[in-house]
Amino acid sequence: MKIINAFTDYKVYVTSPFGWRKNPFNPKKKQYHYGTDYGTNGKQIPLYAPEDATITVSKKIAGAGNYIGVKISRVKRRFYIYHLKSRAVKTGQKVKKGQLLGYVDSTGSSTGTHIHLGMKTTTSAKWLNPHTYNYQPAGTTTTAKPVTTTKIHTVKKGDTLTSIAKKYKTTITKIMKANPIIKDKNKINVGWKLKV
């Protein structure tokens, strides 16, 4: 299972993957994105501890806004969640599985409500791609299934659902089902980020 699913019971989707991307504040420049961004359809959803863990940091800074670090010793990983509306935990605090960590928002350098999830091992300062990490909750004995990355299409002027479906070799029905924001198959707005 994807680690993001363990932090929230809400269905989220990738809006900006780990790695090189255009700077959202200056599209002419490239920047390295040290995490994966997950959209929530603009909802300020709660996030929970996926299992017993330690909060390594809980504070507010300019770029990350309200953010927390969650260390899960069992899996030797540290997770960092940026841009929160509020933090329900403090630095050094021990948390139990299911305990509220905070609420999603768009604080700091952010273009909209989303979850920015970063990941490191407990022994390295190197950032890793959290979306490819197969998290298995404590007590799980089955092998995790491979993670697939959801593709996101940003609607541009002239796009239609028909042209988007053709481009990604899917159907209008599947796109509409994956994107509740679409109410009318003949009306999509420029700038929408659609799961395809």
CA 125 to chain centre: 20
Taken in order of first residue, the domains within the chain and their CATH numbers are: 3-132 (2.70.70.10), 152-195 (3.10.350.10)
**DSSP string covering the chain:** -BHHHHH-SS--EEEE-SEEEEETTEEEEEEEE-SEEEE-TT---EEE-SSSEEEEEEEEETTTEEEEEEEEGGGTEEEEEEEEEEE---TT-EE-TT-EEEEEB--SS-SSSEEEEEEEETT----B-GGG-B---TT--SPPPPP-PPPEEE--TT--HHHHHHHTT--HHHHHHH-TT--BTTB--TT-EEE-
Q: Which of 36-45, 64-73, 186-195 has the lowest mean pLDDT?
A: 186-195
Contact call for residues 99 and 50 (beta carbons, < 8 A): no
Mean pLDDT of 116-130: 95
Q: Which of 1-15, 31-45, 47-61, 149-163 has the lowest mean pLDDT?
A: 149-163
CA 194 to chain centre: 15
Q: Report residue 143's pLDDT band, with 50, 70 and 90 as the boundaries.
A: low
**The pTM of the whole model exceeds 0.75:** no
